Amino acid sequence: MKQQRRPMTPLRLRMEHDLQLRNYAPKTIERYVECVAAFAKHFHTSPDRLGPEHIRAYQHYLAHQRQVSWSLFNQTVCALRFFYQITLGQPEMIQHIPYPRRQRKLPTVLSHADVAALLVAPRSLKHRAILTTFYDTGVRLGELCQLRLRDLDSDRGVIRIHQGKGHRDRQVMLSAQLLAVLRHYWKAYQPPEWLFPGRWRDRPITPEAVYDICREAGEAARLSVRVTPHLLRHTFATHLLEAGVDLRRIQLLLGHRSLSSTSLYLHVATSTFHAIPSPLARLQAVLGKDAES
């Protein structure tokens, strides 16, 4: 049975309208509104009646009792800051809702051998095409699900990404190797509009289905890590960096707004360390020269 959406209160509706006027993505609007609703539900009262002490207590509850992820905690902070500053018109409340410090963790990356095993693991040609597209383009999960056949420009060798993260269009490369895989897949499935349709051919594949495809392929390939779309995106960027592609080009391909986000891959690319001379090797060379003299 399909779950009915809760009735819209005037305050909830006003926040949705404020977010829409500022061109927030539909999923972001939904999550922000739900974060504020959860904040109100925690105290069993309307959020416009809650003040700094309630905010502080709720942040402590999320961090220490529920121990939510950094992503959810930060999303809640962003939602509350928007709600108080824009919807309620109380910018003075912002000082009571600080952003959390993010733990910087290095991304997990597959080896070339792992990728090779992963791409041949699924029996389904469609699943292979999905995994190959992730690895050879670095697109995000939502971007892959929304790809249409008309987004592929085989003459120019590019794939057009419409309104990716941050409402930005960009292009990613369509290599001859990936094009061959996609053509083979298209001949077998002949999707009418969406590059990767879901259960119904007139609708795109769902993110949940893609997650299952990645997980099952990783298990079939007997990899030691859980395979996700973002893992393949990390692997794409790192392998490009190790192949000598400059960081700025990788930034453009990934659609990162800031180069600092892309620079994270410098910490995991083996080429970064192989290019650094070993102090021990230099010391041994110096000692060897002294011994000869």
140 is catalytic: yes
Are 218 and 224 in contact by the 8 Å Cβ rule? The answer is no
pLDDT value for 211? 96
Among residues 31, 42, 54, 230, the one annotated as catalytic is 230
156 is catalytic: no
Among residues 126, 165, 189, 211, the one annotated as catalytic is 165
CATH 1.10.150.130 region(s) of the chain?
10-96
Among residues 265, 267, 274, 282, the one annotated as catalytic is 265
Among residues 170, 233, 234, 239, the one annotated as catalytic is 233
Res. 3 pLDDT band, cuts 50 70 90:
very low
Separation between Cα atoms, residue 7 and residue 84, nearest integer Å:
22
Q: Which residues contact 70 (CB under 8 A, 6 or more apart)?
A: 100, 102, 103
- Phi-psi category of residue 90: left, alpha or beta, with phi > 0 → left and psi -120 to 50 → alpha: beta
CATH 1.10.443.10 region(s) of the chain?
112-272
State which amino acid sits at residue 48. D
**Choice among 42-46, 137-141, 161-165 with the minimum mean pLDDT:** 161-165
**Choice among 22-31, 71-80, 238-247, 268-277 with the minimum mean pLDDT:** 268-277
Separation between Cα atoms, residue 246 and residue 89, nearest integer Å:
44
pLDDT value for 90? 93
249 is catalytic: no
Percent of residues, the chain, with pLDDT higher than 90:
64
148 is catalytic: no
Q: Which residues contact 181 (CB under 8 A, 6 or more apart)?
A: 128, 129, 132
Higher pLDDT, 284 or 196: 196
Among residues 256, 257, 267, 289, the one annotated as catalytic is 256
* Overall pTM > 0.75: no
State which amino acid sits at residue 129. A
Residue 71 has pLDDT above 90, yes or no: no
256 is catalytic: yes
Continuous H helices in the chain: 10-21, 26-43, 52-60, 70-82, 112-120, 125-137, 141-145, 176-189, 207-220, 229-242, 247-254, 259-262, 270-274, 279-292
233 is catalytic: yes
Q: Can you identify the CATH homologous superfamily of domain 112-272?
A: Intergrase catalytic core (1.10.443.10)
CATH topology of domain 10-96: DNA polymerase; domain 1 (1.10.150)
Q: What is the mean pLDDT of residues 127-139?
A: 96
Among residues 81, 127, 140, 234, the one annotated as catalytic is 140
